[in-house]
Amino acid sequence: MNNHTKMKIRKAASEIYEAFVDPDKIGNFWFSSSSERWAEGKTITLKYEEYNAQGDIYIKELQENEKIVFEWAGDHTVTITFKEEDHDLTVVEVIEEGFKEEDENLIDQLLDNKEGWVYMLSCLKGYMEYGADLRASLLK
């Protein structure tokens, strides 16, 4: 069971990849801060000041400008890939794995998770293409 979300972003893969791994950039489209530059084997603390929340992710694999794999939420694995179709058009794909079919809250978990990834990718697109700050505006 996994969640799978995919979006076209009009920017080079190298710039989009950098927006994730550079702690000065993530606050423009996703969490408010990241404790340090992402690197394989590191545990990074991500904070979401607006929701008074934080969590750790473990960076399992990095392929520069192409792929990021991390673990979070216990045993969930997130794979983000960057496929450059043109010098200024990249397909960014997020797959989160680890949902359990027998979990009684499975549907709510999947929907919350889908909401988060679609929103993150939309904010990333707005930031990359327009310098827009669209984050921290989803409500429950």
**Which residues of the chain form contacts with its own copies (CB under 8 A)?**
3, 5-9, 91, 106-107, 110-111, 114-115, 118-119, 122-123, 125-126, 129-130, 132, 134, 137-140
Quickly list H helices, 68-105.
none
Place of tokens 């893969």: 13
* Helix (H) or strand (E) segment spanning residue 70: strand 67-72
Instruction: Give least dist CB 107 to its own copies, A.
Output: 6
Put residue 73 in one of left, alpha, beta given phi > 0 → left and psi -120 to 50 → alpha.
left
Instruction: Give least dist CB 121 to its own copies, A.
Output: 8
Q: Name the residue nearer to its own copies (CB basis): 64 or 115.
A: 115
Instruction: Give least dist CB 67 to its own copies, A.
Output: 17
Cα–Cα distance measured from residue 19 to residue 132, given in angstroms and rounded to the nearest whole number:
14
Using the Cα atoms of residue 88, residue 17, residue 92 and residue 118 in order, give the sign of their dihedral.
negative
Instruction: Give least dist CB 100 to its own copies, A.
Output: 13
Q: Name the residue nearer to its own copies (CB basis): 3 or 28.
A: 3
